[in-house]
Structure formats: structure tokens, C-alpha cells
Structure 1
Amino acid sequence: MPVQQRRIQILETATVLIAERGFWGVTLRDVAIMCGITEAGVLHHFSSKAKLLIAVLEYRDEADFVALARLLGIERGDIERTPLPVSLRELCTALITRNAGQPEIVRLYSVLNAEALEPSHPAHAYFQDRETMALSLFRRAMPENDEAIHMSRQILAAMDGLQLRWLRTPDDVDLVPEWENFFERAFL
């Protein structure tokens, strides 16, 4: 198998396993067995379990940014612009729509985000940086004012909380309409 294909196989396999078991519940051996290679083969591509974890998260983030841009009808690079070329409502709806189609990835981030509250966790700094990035993304989609940072935090908290309810009881929570209803009442 070509090197890039093997790396992607390892990343996708690790994504599934970590989403199911959390970082601490997965070994390099587990990943290797699922990929049909040895632990040394995994380590050849990712020099440690911690580096594999960060690579999984970065890989998923890029896939999500590409999909988000497509949902918004903009170029991938436009997501970095200030201001964003879309409204806050369009951004939030696209994020929730994307997440509604990938519960296993939302579960991955939810589990890891909770685990990474511990400062010794290998993804602790990653999740701090990711939160800063998410808050910036929301702020760039709204007019700059003294309330923008507070509103950004509230949106992120609401998304996280609603997504947890959806993961726990997917038959009771229809994520996109539930988000739209909440956003309509809370932020407009």
C-alpha cells in the first residue's frame, strides 16, 4: 500500500477506535491489528501514540473545514478571512448540519475534549487552541462589538451541550431543527 494511503488508513482506524474507547482505551497494537500491520508499522508513520492522536485531530479538522466551506458555498481559504463571507446563522447552521451527519466524529471530539481537561493529556494544548480557533471563527462571522466574545462563548457552549444531548438520545433530539429553534430564540 502506498505511504499516503497507509497513513490515511491508520488515521481513519485510530479515529474510529478513539471515538469508541477514548485515547486511554486504545493501544497502538489495537490500531495496528485493525490495519493489518505491526505496531512498528504504525510507529513508522507516527512516532508515538500521542503524535498519532494529534495527527487524527488535525486530519479530522481539515476534513471538516473542507466540508464546511462546501456547505457554505465558499472556498476553503475563505474560512480564514476576517470578516467571514457568511452570516453567523449560516456558519452555525452549516457546522451543526455537518456534525449531524457524523455522530462518530462528534463523539470522538466530545470524549477527547473531556479527557483533555487534564493538563497531562497529550491533547490538552490542542483543545485549548481549538477552542480559541472556534471562538475566533464565530467572532469573525458577527459585527465586532463588546459582546462578541461573550456571544461566541455562549454559542460554543450551546453547540457542545446540544450535541451531547443528541449523542446521548439521538432518537429524541433532531439536531439541526433543535439548533435552529435555539438560535432563533437566543441569538436573534
Structure 2
Amino acid sequence: MTERSSARKRGPYAQGRQSRELVLDTALAVIGRQGFGATSLKDIAEEVGMTQAGLLHHFQTKENLLTEVLRRRDVVNQQMDAPHEAHYPRAVYIAHESMKVPGLLHLYVNLEAAASDPKHPSHRYFLERDAAVHANVARDIEARQGEGRFDPRIDPQVFARILIALFDGLQAEIAIDPRIDLPGTLEALWDMFASPAESAGTDGAESQGATTTSAAANEVR
């Protein structure tokens, strides 16, 4: 096989992959802008410049497309800058971002509920995602415990499960009442078990700032 013929064979695949990624990025944007309930396949297809048939050529079904949209969102979240040295875990930073895009939050909640059926196309995605997120959170807690930054009496596996359950449960509540503070609630739970030294450092910085502000105010007086 010549190099030219090999390139020809790769061409359509590369183009198909590009089109697929364009659809996913566009779907993320449209759902984020219009909301999950108000977005149809037709809306996404028109935004991309495809027919609905062309859209389904890449994903076969609407459920597959929506599952891949969430997978794409996971990739974006993984690229988020949440260093290990940060006081809160990555989940809290993701919660802050989720609150900014309620359309995607509604998509997640609706698809997760449907995926409770083992035959649903999204079932495997949620199983695998849950296992990966649980492992990442547990590893983060273990690392912090080793550095004296998290209560050593806590079982990382159990706490990771509690944190994820709280995250998912609150997302379902927010779909009904958007006034609920998802990141604030996660932060409150985390602060209960963050090491006293780390919490004191955070509080100390705030206290020092308040003292400085008070002193400056007294000087003005």
C-alpha cells in the first residue's frame, strides 16, 4: 500500500471525526444557551449546517448524541485548572461551572434518571463515569490525608461516595429550585473534615484581612 493510498483511506475518517467533534461542541453551546428542554435535534443540526439525517449519521440516535455531549463536557471539566494544592477538590470547581450552565445541568439530571434502566444507551456511560469520579475523589482525599490536610479518621472511599451522592442529589434538586447553592453546600461539607491547620490558615487569612480593614478604618476616623 502506498503512502498516498493510505492517506486517502484516512481522509474520510479524519473528516468524520472533525464533523463529530463539531456537532458535540455545537450541541454543548446550544443546550447551554437554550436549555435542555428547549433544544431539539433540528436546532443543533441547523447550527452545525447539517440535516437531521446527517446528524444522526454520526450518532445513530438522539440518546447517543446526548450521551456524547456529556462525555465531551467531562473532557472540558478535566481540563479545568484545580491544582492539588487548592483547598477544595475539583468537584467543587466543577460545581461552580455547572451553576453557570443550567441547560447542561438539566441534561445531566434527565439523562442520569433515564439511564437507571440498564438497557438505556447512557447506562454504561454513567456506570463508568461514577467509578472514575469516585476513584479520583478518593485518591485526592488519601493524598491530602498523607499531607495532614484532611481528617485521617475518615475513610476516603466512603467520603468520596458521600460527596458524589450529595453532588448528584443537589443537581436534581436544583433542576426544580435553582436557588439551591450547590458549590456552597459541597464546600461546607468539605470544611467539616479539612485539617484544622488548613482551615485555620484560610480563616487566618480572612481574619488578618478583617483586622487590616478595621485598622485602616480607625486611622480614617
TM-score (norm: length of structure 2): 0.61
1:37-56 matched pairs, under 5 angstroms: 37-56=50-69
How much does 1:59 deviate? 1.3
Identify if the C-alpha distance between structure 1 residues 164 and 97 changes in structure 2 by more than 3 Å, giving closer, same or farther: same
Partner of 1:77: none
Partner of 2:127: 128
Identify if the C-alpha distance between structure 1 residues 29 and 162 changes in structure 2 by more than 3 Å, giving closer, same or farther: closer
Partner of 1:147: 155
Is 1:7 aligned with 2:20?
A: yes
% identical equivalent positions: 29
1:184 equivalent among 180, 191, 200: 191
Count of aligned residue pairs for this structure pair: 168
Identify if the C-alpha distance between structure 1 residues 105 and 41 changes in structure 2 by more than 3 Å, giving closer, same or farther: same
Is 1:65 aligned with 2:81?
A: no
Question: Superposition RMSD on alpha carbons, in Å?
Answer: 3.3
The amino acid of 1:115's aligned partner reads A
How much does 1:121 deviate? 0.6
Q: Secondary structure at the match of 1:140?
A: helix
8 Å Cα contact 1:11/1:56 also seen in 2: yes
Q: For structure 1, which runs of at least 5 residues remain unmatched after alignment?
A: 74-84
How much does 1:132 deviate? 0.3
In 2, Cα distance between the equivalents of 1:149 and 1:128?
16
Structure ID, larger Rg: 2
8 Å Cα contact 1:46/1:52 also seen in 2: yes
Partner of 2:99: 100
Which structure has the higher relative contact order (CA within 8 Å, separation 6+)?
1
Partner of 1:173: 180
The amino acid of 2:104's aligned partner reads I
The amino acid of 1:120's aligned partner reads K
How much does 1:45 deviate? 3.1
In 1, Cα distance between the equivalents of 2:56 and 2:173?
36
Identify if the C-alpha distance between structure 1 residues 108 and 50 changes in structure 2 by more than 3 Å, giving closer, same or farther: closer
How much does 1:184 deviate? 2.4
In 1, Cα distance between the equivalents of 2:169 and 2:63?
27
In 2, Cα distance between the equivalents of 1:36 and 1:44?
14
In 2, Cα distance between the equivalents of 1:132 and 1:19?
28
